[in-house]
């Protein structure tokens, strides 16, 4: 169990930083009802990602892709931000965080009030034709039924897909450039809900560490950051982040 001393230690480090970032993964959204796709009971326990969420699948298996997407999109759209998202938004609003870099595609950071969010793997709230790039919206996706799939473009009959990075695709250039600029300036990174096993996103905390920055880690169990985290809270994000936020309140005007 995390003690108040660790909340205070994390809060002091954040309050003394000048360019702090948050880096989040699936664990931040579990309390919102979105299980980690890789966890037992997650979507990857019932679907093969190469068959339903890869560039190959979009071109060769669009029906199976959309069977998966119908379930995933409805699960994501029914979720609401939890105290982890809300705490990060408050930290940004108080001037403690410069940005949130997230691997999540659920848009919950933005809905919680975070303004500067870099979606490293894209977002499931936008859609476009894989062939001609015609844009569609989430409400149109939510109106789809099993009889309507695969969703084909009204202009060219290409497959419509969400604006997320599928397996085998490159990270969007804009997200890469924004992330690189933020990480090169960062003196602290608050890692929450990610094991660091997915490349290249998982390397971001090491970039900050290699430049002399501090890593604060909020995770349950073993991660790729063992041995390099300066402060580690072995606790769910929806518990630890509100604890750090509360400890930050008296420090709001100190060292800013």
CATH number assigned to the domain comprising residue 236: 3.40.50.1220
| pLDDT confidence of residue 223 | 92
- What residues act catalytically? 121
- pTM across the whole model: 0.93
The pLDDT of residue 113 is above 60: yes
Same domain as 147, residue 254: no
pLDDT score of 197: 85
Provide the domain count of the chain. Answer: 2
pLDDT band at 36 (very low <50, low <70, confident <90, very high): confident
Q: What pLDDT is recorded for position 35?
A: 85
CATH number at 157 reads 3.30.1600.10
Q: Supply 19's token pair.
A: 């360019």
pLDDT tens digits along 54-109: 999 999 999 999 999 999 999 999 999 999 999 999 999 999 999 999 999 999 99
Residues 200 and 253 in one domain: yes
- To the nearest whole number, what is the mean pLDDT of the chain? 93
pLDDT score at 40: 66
- Same domain as 130, residue 200: no
**Full domain range(s) for residue 21:** 1-34+81-121+171-256
Last residue of a domain, one of 106, 135, 164: 164
- Predicted confidence at residue 255, as pLDDT, reads 53
Q: What is the per-residue pLDDT across 173-217, written as a single tens digit (0 to 9) for each?
A: 999 999 999 999 999 999 999 988 888 888 999 999 999 999 999
Same domain, 13 and 51: no
Percent pLDDT > 70 in the chain is 95
């Amino acid at each position: 169990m995390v003690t108040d001393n660790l909340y205070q230690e994390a809060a002091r480090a954040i309050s003394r930083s000048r360019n702090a970032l948050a880096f989040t993964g699936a664990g931040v959204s579990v309390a919102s009802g979105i299980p980690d796709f890789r966890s037992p009971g997650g979507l990857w326990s019932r679907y093969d990602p190469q068959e339903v969420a890869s560039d190959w699948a979009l071109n060769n298996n669009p029906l199976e892709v959309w069977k998966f997407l119908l379930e995933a999109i409805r699960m994501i759209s029914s979720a609401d931000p939890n105290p982890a998202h809300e705490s990060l938004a408050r930290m940004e609003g108080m001037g403690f965080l410069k940005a949130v870099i997230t691997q999540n595609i659920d848009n919950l950071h933005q809905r919680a009030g975070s303004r500067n969010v870099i979606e490293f793997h894209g977002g499931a709230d936008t859609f476009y034709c894989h062939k001609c790039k015609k844009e569609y919206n989430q409400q149109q996706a939510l109106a789809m039924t099993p009889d309507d799939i695969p969703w084909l473009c009204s202009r060219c009959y290409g497959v419509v897909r969400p604006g997320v990075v599928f397996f085998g695709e490159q990270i969007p250039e804009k997200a890469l450039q924004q992330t690189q600029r933020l990480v090169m300036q960062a003196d602290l990174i608050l890692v929450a809900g990610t094991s660091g096993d997915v490349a290249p996103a998982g390397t971001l905390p090491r970039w900050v560490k290699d430049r002399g920055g501090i890593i604060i880690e909020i995770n349950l169990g073993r991660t790729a950051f063992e041995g390099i985290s300066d402060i580690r809270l072995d606790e769910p994000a929806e518990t630890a982040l509100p604890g750090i936020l509360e400890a930050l309140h008296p420090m709001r005007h100190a060292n800013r």
